[in-house]
Chains A and B, each alone.
Chain A
Amino acid sequence: MAAAGAGRLRRAASALLLRSPRLPARELSAPARLYHKKVVDHYENPRNVGSLDKTSKNVGTGLVGAPACGDVMKLQIQVDEKGKIVDARFKTFGCGSAIASSSLATEWVKGKTVEEALTIKNTDIAKELCLPPVKLHCSKSVLFGPVREKIQLLP
């Protein structure tokens, strides 16, 4: 008696599994751990990834971080005679937020003068990319590191 009831339930369960409509993937609303569309976009459609000729007089190269910390960023800027940044390239060993932060930094510094570039704040970058608080240090590394360092390295 118990066995028959159990058999019916078992068949019902299997039928339930077979016929129930699949739940769709949940729309990614932004809890802290998930990647914002903008962060993913910088990886999937990279802009300014690469290198400039580091021996050139107009190119400043900044390298900040350490592999042991999981964060190494290289930023290069090319400056014309008037001190305006005409080109920028980056390469990053780091998490998605770090890649996006350095990518965005290269976009923003293009067309600015060196002085203007120094005014960019890491909180601006974090806000633009909607970085959660735990990822603020990624944008900080970009600004306090390569941007300033390479600007110092310029002739």
Chain B
Amino acid sequence: MLLRTAWRRAAAAVPVAPGPKSEAPTRGLRLRVADHAPQFAVPSDTATAPQAESVLRPLYMDVQATTPLDPRVLDAMLPYLVNYYGNPHSRTHAYGWESEAAMEHARQQVASLIGADPREIIFTSGATESNNIAIKELEAAIQPDTSLVSVMTVNNEIGVKQPIAEIGRICSSRKVYFHTDAAQAVGKIPLDVNDMKIDLMSISGHKIYGPKGVGAIYIRRRPRVRVEALQSGGGQERGMRSGTVPTPLVVGLGAACEVAQQEMEYDHKRISKLAERLTQKIMRSLPDVVMNGDPEHHYPGCINLSFAYVEGESLLMALKDVALSSGSACTSASLEPSYVLRAIGTDEDLAHSSIRFGIGRFTTEEEVDYTVEKCIHHVKRLREMSPLWEMVQDGIDLKSIKWTQH
């Protein structure tokens, strides 16, 4: 018992390395460097000349899809991937105790980011699993009039922020459970589960510069929210999610949450400035560009623009140096355009012309400028190739035309 508490104290003394705040934190090495010596097991036909050509990777502007690991998170995780490899549920030796201490410390870090009690955080494999657990609770409810409201905090396609506090207030007054998928919001906008009267919340690790394969679900204790476990087994995580908790991953999630709490205000200011720069520059240089989503209730790091008369996937192909995403049909497996854009009433042709720009903690001003420049250049080029642009220049009203189907 005494030994356990000593281990707990020692593990808690491994701090997350504080980052420099004076300038934008960099991951430095993400930037492209020519690879000169072929020292990997890469098949030799890729390097035809003795000096390998400098092959650059695209800029990353797709943070809504996933985020890179913050170096401080990797620092926190590495000991648990290398040295401290115990199962956190092993109660009989130091390996288990130190792993458990790290897991509980991570739980505290996640809880403090959203104003919750650590006992209300259950680790899962990601926000998807958390969503499933939350929704399953609805099916497990006995009373016929019990219901659940489930709303995304920040939309991943257009960045719109939902009025969570208002929804929480309404649900609480009607005694209805309120779940929110906060994957894109945690660590980016201030959240408090008590102020906003949230009963269930899904958290994703890899959306906040943490590792992939881990997330958490927040489950309110007062008043108690009962959920049914999706997977049964050894009863870990208070019986709500059996399975060994992956210590390195949850340490990463905890570290990511703590870093996010420290950096939230600074990140938000910096990202807002970059987002403003991107949208202003594009809209000043190109006509007929529409920003999708409410401009006021909007998270700045997710910018969804529709470039009229240019199809989204062709623009993605043209912008091959930049990793972006589109709401157009051609980029989805189903050939259907984004349901989000359709739901907000975007014209179908504009839905096919949308591109999502993601600005994150490590996005630099140079990357934004480069993206803007290329975007303007290629939109102009694609408009020259577009029959719709030609018709509009000739003064034809596209809405008056009877189009054929094929």
Contact = CB atoms under 8 A, between A and B. Distances in A.
Interface string B47-62: 0000010011100000
A76 to B, nearest CB: 10
B140 interface: no
A40 B317 CA distance: 7
Interface string A40-70: 1001001001010000000000011111111
A54 B33 CA distance: 51
Contacts of A49: 384-385
Given A25-B57, A96-B314, 20 more contacts: A2-B7, A2-B98, A6-B79, A9-B79, A22-B32, A24-B52, A25-B55, A35-B317, A46-B385, A63-B387, A69-B329, A69-B348, A69-B406, A70-B349, A72-B387, A95-B314, A95-B328, A96-B317, A140-B406, A141-B406
A70 B352 contact: yes
Contacts of B142: none
Contact of B318 (A17, A22, A43, A73): A43
B99 to A, nearest CB: 12
B71 interface: yes
Given A70-B329, A92-B386, A9 B78 contact: yes
B403 A25 contact: no
Interface in A127-155: 134, 137, 140-141, 144-145
A99 B37 CA distance: 38
A67 B385 contact: no
A1 to B, nearest CB: 7
Contacts of B386: 72, 91-93
> Size range of the interface on A?
35 or more
Interface of B: 7, 10-11, 13-14, 17, 28-29, 32-35, 37, 39-40, 42, 46, 52, 55-57, 71, 74-75, 78-79, 82-83, 98, 309-314, 317-318, 320, 328-330, 333, 335, 337, 347-349, 352, 384-388, 390, 398, 403-406
27 contacts: A2-B13, A2-B14, A3-B13, A6-B79, A9-B78, A9-B82, A14-B71, A21-B35, A24-B42, A35-B320, A43-B318, A46-B385, A63-B387, A64-B404, A65-B404, A66-B404, A67-B352, A68-B347, A69-B348, A70-B312, A71-B311, A72-B403, A74-B390, A92-B385, A92-B387, A94-B311, A95-B317
A112 interface: no
Closest 3 CB pairs of A and B: A67-B349, A66-B403, A70-B352
A65 B403 contact: yes
Contacts of B335: 134, 137
A49 B333 CA distance: 29
A148 to B, nearest CB: 11
Given A24-B35, A99-B385, A6 B14 contact: yes
A93 B44 CA distance: 40
A14 B317 contact: no
